[in-house]
Amino acid sequence: MKKINELKIIGIIPVKANSERVKRKNLRKFANTNLFELKLNQLSKTKHFEDFYVSSESKSILSKAKSMGFKTHLRDKYYSTPKVPMSKVYKYIASSIKAEHVAWINVTNPLVGSKIYDEAAQIYKKINVKKYDCLLSAIKNKENFFYKGKCVNFKRTPWPRSQDLEPLVSLPFAINILRRNDLIKWRSCVGKRPKFFYLDKEIATDIDELYNFKFSEFIYKSKKK
């Protein structure tokens, strides 16, 4: 990690010890490591962040983070329970960390590496603040979408080629950057005027279900070979 004199971005890395759909997904074996340690290793190679805070209710996770050179935030266990909406978690953690600009970085995008994080930080530092109020990692989805029985991004006839479809944008939450005060005020990483930072769909895979975990692990092992 390298300190710089320009606009400073503090990375926030939320890590729960337990999860519902994939048990202990942040800590279970992933190839030759786990999602938590893999992400910290990736972020330790970046050059365009001022610092990083790992936020967790687990003292063992925070102890490991400290040993790897990261700052820590001991989270109240209440904010790691499934009954607490994410909006409250955003506000709580952001209110506990001193920074002007923050990057919310999840460990559940294991294929996103240090170069991508640095690229996102560099783009954010140059964006027109009058035009954009946040940077959001995003994916372009060129598929045929319906909503409530109606075509969203295509017409039934004449049938469009897939490459001609108007893409819909989804958020993998690999990295989102914004002002800390806005994160507290909005209780969300998503502003009204986002700058989309597009990622490859495969690389941006977010582990939410077991099949995501197995797919990402397979791709990760293939790339290592």
In tens, the pLDDT along 111-158 reads 999 999 999 999 999 999 999 999 999 999 999 999 999 999 999 899
10 Å Cβ neighbour count for 129? Answer: 8
Burial of 202 by CB count in 10 Å (0-12 exposed, 13-18 middle, 19+ buried)?
exposed
* Angle subtended by helix axes 35-43 and 59-67, to nearest 10: 30
> What top-level class would CATH report for the domain 9-224?
alpha beta
Q: Where do the structural domains in the chain lie, given as residue ranges?
A: 9-224
Confidence of residue 225 (pLDDT cuts 50, 70, 90): confident
pLDDT tops 60 at residue 5: no
54 has a pLDDT exceeding 50: yes
Tell me which of 166 and 184 has the higher pLDDT: 184
pLDDT at residue number 136: 98
* C-alpha torsion 140→142→146→152, nearest 10: 80
Q: pLDDT at residue 204 above 80?
A: yes
pLDDT number for residue 76: 96
pLDDT at 1: 45
Question: What angle (nearest 5°) sits at the alpha carbon of residue 141, between those of residues 140 and 142?
Answer: 115
Count Cα atoms within 13 angstroms, Cβ side, for 23.
0
**pLDDT (tens digit, 9 = 90+) per residue, 60-119?**
999 999 999 999 999 999 999 989 999 999 999 999 999 999 999 999 999 999 999 999
pLDDT for position 2: 45
Q: Are 33 and 9 in contact (CB under 8 A)?
A: no
Are 103 and 9 in contact by the 8 Å Cβ rule? The answer is yes
Identify the pLDDT of residue 6.
75
